[in-house]
Chains A and B, each alone.
Chain A
Amino acid sequence: MNQTTRRSWAALAAVALLSGCATEAPGTGVFLLIDTSGTYSGELARAQTVTNYLLGTLDPGDSFGVARIDAGSFSEKDILVRTTFDERPSVANDQKRQFMQTVSAFADTVSSASHTDITGGVLQAVEWLNEVNPGRKTVLIFSDMEEDLPEGHIRDFPMELRGVRVIALNVTKLRQDNVDPREYMGRLEAWRDRVVSGGGEWTVINDLERLDVALEL
């Protein structure tokens, strides 16, 4: 084996070792959108339970964010808290405690929103997830999925959701849904079409007891 060949093998070994040592993107990124509109504000306690469950499930290095859905959700001011947990478990635990306190304080002081801009919230969540670039991207929407936009807001355009899993949680039925269930099913179907056409995956989970199985975190 001549010197050049030996050097090549050494370089290959070094590259392989360095690529093996390279830090991968954190495993999971989750963004939870909480609907604060008048028809849904009563469900906030459940949203808090979901947040706590996620905090207990996510590992060090994972990313987690929570934002409210209100009249104009495509805005940083609607983001309550977002963080990537530290690599060290003890520091990550402290971050989770602070996260929980922030969400708890929000739940105590939140006021009902006049409109419901779900699309803006999803765009905001996807933007942050793409920025953090975790291995798995999940957007949780805690809402009745009834979008009610203020006048002048434009949201009827395709969303880029490639590689993002969108999960609608606790989709409650509205009064008119009881009158005509087709409205409820049509609403969910419309959201499915929007998400799938954007390249994402769509799931609905109404039974929060099976959250662990459905989230697959």
Chain B
Amino acid sequence: MPSWLMIWPNSPGLSMLIVAILLVVGMWGARAPAHRVIQGIAKAITQGCKLTSDAIGGVHERLASRNREVLMATGLQDTEHQIEQEFKRISASVDRDLAAYPALHKQLVDQVNRIDEDYRRATDGPAAPEAWTETLQAAGQLVERASQTAAAKAVDALRAAIEESHDEALEKYREASRARHKLLSKMVPTWRSMDSTLTRVERSVTGIFERSRHIDELMETYRGIASKTPATERALASSSMTQFIIAGLVLVIASMGGFINFQLIALPMSEMVGATSRLGSMQTSDVAALVIIMVEITMGLFLMESLRITRLFPVIGRLDRHTRIRMAWATFSILLILAGIESSLAYMRDMLAADRAALTQTLAGGTVQRPEFMWIPALGQMVMGFILPFALTFVAIPLESFIHSSRIVAGQVAVGLLRMLAFAVHLFGFAADHAGKGLKNLYDIVIFLPLKVEETILEARSRGPTGGKTERTATTVNAS
């Protein structure tokens, strides 16, 4: 116990008791201002937290609103792009299949006319009348009865003439039937041709119908986005998150491919730029290998951009078609050259590794042996060195998705963090308010004895004949 607290010399217990009594009495005397101080501090903290929470909430609202706008704008843009693409496909389909429709129609009409003409020519002629047969039978009977009379001879001659005429008619009928059959058989390829033409027309029309249905669906989505419904917002946000994760995964895989590519060309690069020079903490040969890979990726981006597969650079997108095609050929040529360089570097890597192994064998005192089939890994490395630059070209697609979706995902994460922060600040203010109340109660617990005495005295006074109630009320108000 410090000496200055030893009020009663050589008696710490008594000193402590006196100090405690003095402290309690002092606290009882300062109760009202102490309560005001505690309450004021608690209120200040609570109000500060409320203001901060409101400010964070405002930022949160603005950011959420901005995110919603970006989300909707991206969704609209994406849907517009899809609709535009569908219309382009329909246009191409119409140009390809239906632009030649007049010629197709003329062809169909010709085919129909030809079939019609053939059909007319193939119409069946009248068969020999049944009456002729009966006439011939009657003539035969007359000849038998009349025997050798002149009439019989005349009838017989008539019968012979009729028979001859009948045979001729029958023969003509058969001839006509053969001609009709020939005509009908000639019509078969024409029918087939017409069937094929009609199938083609049907396919084109069906394709257009299907695309129209897809456009209807897209238009429905477009209307949903334009009306900014919560369901559409949720769907778009979910789609962005999915895109972000998938694109991120593909980029990780692509970066592994890039690493393998780096390993293929880093060692042989030391043959070209030396193995001792350094750029900062990295070997220059490693930097050179990285630069080649980066140039390949950049060329891949430009190629994809020129082919209008991605839309990362509006400047390239705005170029006219011929310039873009020229640019695509230029970037493809550079990629091809780089792929050739990589392939040769990969081969050199194999040679260097073999040389190194041979030297190690010599230094160890062994005889140098070139393993059989060593050309297989060498060839594999060369092929890999040639293919990887082109494979890396396709990084542009997930990269574009990643960049676009990361804007929305980052915004959503920021909104979530702001919401959490606002809640935490609000909670802290709430806790400060209750802590203030708790502290006041704790204060009163410490000085409960003088408080009790005060209360008893005030009660006794209030029971007195005059003035007690008014004085007590005044004291209580003062205390609180």
Residues on A lying within 8 angstroms of B by beta carbon are 20-21, 23-24, 26-27, 52-53, 55-56, 59-61, 87-90, 92-93, 96-97, 100
Contact = CB atoms under 8 A, between A and B. Distances in A.
A60 B270 contact: yes
B276 interface: yes
A59 B356 contact: no
Nearest to A62: B276
B341 to A, nearest CB: 17
B280 interface: yes
Given A56-B363, A60-B270, A100-B363, A90 B277 contact: no
Contact of B270 (A53, A56, A88): A88
Contacts of B359: 56, 93, 96-97
Nearest to A84: B276
B363 A52 contact: yes
Interface in B345-367: 351-352, 355-356, 359-360, 362-365
Given A89-B270, A93-B355, A93-B359, A23 B276 contact: yes
Contacts of A59: 275
B363 A24 contact: no
A55 B277 contact: no
Interface of B: 267, 270-271, 274-280, 284, 351-352, 355-356, 359-360, 362-365
A76 to B, nearest CB: 26
A61 B276 contact: yes
A12 to B, nearest CB: 16
A61 B271 CA distance: 12
B364 A52 contact: yes
A88 B278 CA distance: 14
Contact of A89 (B275, B284, B364): B275
A90 B363 contact: no
B276 A24 contact: yes
Contacts of A27: 276
A88 B276 CA distance: 9
A87 B276 contact: yes
Nearest to A60: B275
A96 B270 CA distance: 17
B275 A88 contact: yes
Given A96-B363, A100-B362, 5 more contacts: A55-B363, A56-B360, A56-B364, A92-B275, A93-B355
Contacts of A60: 270, 274-276
* 3 tightest A-B CB contacts, nearest first: A61-B276, A87-B274, A52-B363
A100 B365 CA distance: 11
Contacts of A87: 270, 274-277
Nearest to B348: A90
- Report which residue of B360, B363, B364, B365 has the largest number of chain A beta carbons within 10 angstroms of its beta carbon: B363
